[in-house]
Amino acid sequence: MIKKIKKLKSGFVILFAVTISAIILAIALGVSNIAFREIKFGTNARGSNDAFFAADVGAECALLYDRNPFPPFDHENAFPVTPIPSPPPPPPPSTMDCAETSFPTPDPSPDNFWTFTVSEFGSSGQSCAIVTVDKTITFSCGSFNCTTTVTSKGYNVGDLNCDSTDPNRIEREIEVTY
């Protein structure tokens, strides 16, 4: 009697199918990872733009109220320097209007240092800025000199007080000195 030996070749097909499936899965994961990073990058670019815009609006608002006390702006200087020693400065305007928002003019605390918040603007209506105006008085060569520093920190997300717990919050800062 002749014995027939059966050769089992089915293992090769399964191995080949698993290998091809693994390669296709690796390619799909790589493409989805790239797509996810592109989406996140696009979101960060928008947030960065909103934060910079907020910082710019805050700085421009402070400059508007500090540098233009004459017509066409019918208000006094919003950030008057407390003179050393002389009569008190004229009172600042009672409100400031920036980015279609009106808010009370801040009181200096301490002297010659103001902080205010501008909020609810930007592409999503959630951007805000915290602005500080610091006027430093120095005495040199027989006269008083005033250096003003406007620091505006813009955020892409924030409430009316510019507070947020968002872990993806983006901050941009602009500083103007004159």
pLDDT at position 71 is: 35
Task: Output the pTM of the full model.
Answer: 0.66
Question: DSSP state, 111?
Answer: T
* Element of type H or E holding 77: none
Mean pLDDT of 135-149: 80
pLDDT at position 72 is: 35
pLDDT at position 51 is: 93
**pLDDT of residue 88 exceeding 60:** no
Question: DSSP state, 90?
Answer: P
Q: What is the phi/psi pair of residue 124, to 5°?
A: -105, 0
- pLDDT tens readout for residues 157-171: 999 899 999 888 999
pLDDT at position 137 is: 80
| Peptide linkage before 72 cis (omega within 30 of 0) | yes
pLDDT at position 107 is: 76
Q: How far apart are CA 72 and CA 29, in angstroms?
A: 61
- pLDDT tens readout for residues 1-55: 677 766 666 677 788 889 999 999 999 999 999 988 888 776 678 889 999 999 9
Contact indicator for 120, 126 with CB cutoff of 8 Å: yes
Query: Where do we find the tokens 């209506």?
Result: 125
Query: Where do we find the tokens 């005495």?
Result: 139
With cut-offs at 50, 70 and 90, classify the pLDDT of residue 74: very low
